[in-house]
């Protein structure tokens, strides 16, 4: 099912990553974040599409789907998304389109309005199908995107401060330094110290974090791991919001470049999706140009 928010469609292959692996999300390496108070919802003017008002209540409800740097920007994106939807609904009604609601893989069923908008876009926007030469050009220009991730087999000993004071952090650092001096680069000593002193649940596995990839650890720990040689322990404890980490890298498995034949279908799908997105943006802009949209600018991307 294609997205209905066609103004700001962009391929995004990044994935949010946890602060630490699952073994370290409790008991010293993390925990549930406090809920922030609900801010007062903003309003920045009237919005209408061909005389049909987009209510402030609808915009306020839509804002949750458009996180932004400021309340005004979030309001603008929410209002624009609803204006786009109204434009498409009006055009679908003008064309007397009908469509049977579909279900996604999770079993969620479309509304009737979503179904007719989908039908309209499927009829109006025909993406270009990229050829192999175009896909290969993209592959060669973006080779770094088509590599397997480097895998790190790492361990740590987490020393938590007993409080938030500077003194508590200094005492935890002193303890970490003593432990580090005792274990050195000896794997067996490191494992024993992890079981004895680490406040992370990974202590039960000799401090092992398992096989991790970039983005799966807090930045301070990840940066050190990537700089270590196989079988080495970092020379200094590393501080993160969880405490002081004594870090050891067992080994790293370097990523490798994926052959074009392995990824060409993925590239073709991405290029076709990009073509469809650009076509959808142009189509919505043409509807806005023929109609009368007040309060927001359709097609604005800044």
Domains along the sequence of the chain with CATH: 1-18+42-147+261-302 (1.10.4030), 154-253 (3.10.50.40)
pLDDT at residue 36 in the model:
47
Q: Is the pLDDT of residue 101 over 50?
A: yes
Q: Which of 168-172, 174-178, 292-296 has the lowest mean pLDDT?
A: 292-296
**pLDDT 10s digits, 116-127:** 999 999 999 999
Rounded distance, CA 225 to CA 250, Å?
Answer: 10
Coil, strand or helix at 112? helix
CB 52 within 8 A of CB 86: yes
Q: Residues 20, 25, 28, 30: is their CA dihedral positive or negative?
A: positive
Rounded distance, CA 177 to CA 283, Å?
Answer: 63
pLDDT at residue 302 in the model:
40
**Mean pLDDT (the chain, rounded):** 85
pLDDT at residue 16 in the model:
37
Most confident listed range (178-182, 211-215, 256-260) = 178-182
pLDDT at residue 215 in the model:
85
CB 191 within 8 A of CB 211: no
Share of the chain above pLDDT 70, in %: 84
pLDDT at residue 42 in the model:
55
Mean pLDDT across 278-290: 93
Rounded distance, CA 147 to CA 180, Å?
Answer: 35
What is the 3-state secondary structure of 164-209?
CCHHHHHHHHHHHHHHHHHHCCCHHHHHHHHHHHCCCHHHHHCCEE
Q: Is the pLDDT of residue 17 over 90?
A: no
The 10 Å Cβ neighbour count of residue 227 is 11
pLDDT at residue 14 in the model:
38
85-71-31-24 Cα dihedral, nearest 10 degrees: 70
- Pick the closest to residue 17 from 221, 213, 247 (CA basis): 213
Rounded distance, CA 177 to CA 180, Å?
Answer: 5
Most confident listed range (7-11, 57-61, 174-178) = 174-178
pLDDT at residue 177 in the model:
97
Burial class (CB in 10 A: 0-12, 13-18, 19+), 288: buried
Of residues 144 and 77, more confidently modeled: 77
Longest Cα–Cα distance of the chain, Å, equals 78
């Amino acid at each position: 099912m294609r997205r209905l928010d066609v103004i700001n469609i962009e391929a995004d292959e990044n994935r949010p990553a946890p602060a630490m692996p699952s073994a370290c999300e409790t008991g010293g390496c993390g925990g549930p974040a406090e809920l922030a108070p609900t801010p007062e919802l903003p309003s920045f003017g009237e919005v209408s599409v061909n005389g049909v008002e987009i209510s402030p209540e609808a915009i306020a409800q839509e804002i949750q789907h458009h996180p932004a740097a400021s309340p005004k920007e979030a309001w603008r994106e929410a209002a624009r998304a609803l204006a786009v939807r109204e434009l498409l609904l009006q055009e679908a009604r003008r064309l007397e389109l009908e469509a049977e609601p579909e279900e996604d893989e999770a079993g969620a069923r479309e509304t009737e309005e979503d179904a007719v908008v989908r039908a309209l876009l499927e009829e109006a926007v025909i993406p270009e199908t990229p050829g192999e030469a175009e896909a290969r050009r993209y592959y060669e220009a973006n080779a770094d995107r088509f590599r397997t991730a480097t895998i790190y087999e790492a361990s740590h000993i987490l020393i938590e401060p007993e409080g938030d004071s500077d003194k508590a952090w200094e005492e935890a650092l002193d303890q970490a330094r003593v432990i580090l001096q005792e274990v050195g680069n000896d794997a067996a000593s490191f494992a024993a110290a992890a079981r004895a002193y680490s406040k992370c649940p990974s202590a039960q596995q000799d401090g092992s974090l398992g096989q991790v990839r970039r983005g799966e650890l807090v930045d301070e720990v990840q940066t050190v791991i990537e700089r270590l040689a196989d079988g080495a322990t970092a020379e200094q404890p590393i501080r993160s919001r969880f405490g002081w980490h004594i870090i050891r890298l067992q080994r790293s498995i370097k990523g490798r470049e994926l052959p074009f034949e392995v990824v060409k279908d993925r590239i073709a799908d991405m290029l076709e999706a990009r073509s469809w997105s650009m076509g959808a943006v142009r189509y919505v802009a043409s509807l806005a140009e023929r109609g009368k949209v007040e309060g927001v600018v359709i097609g604005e991307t800044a």
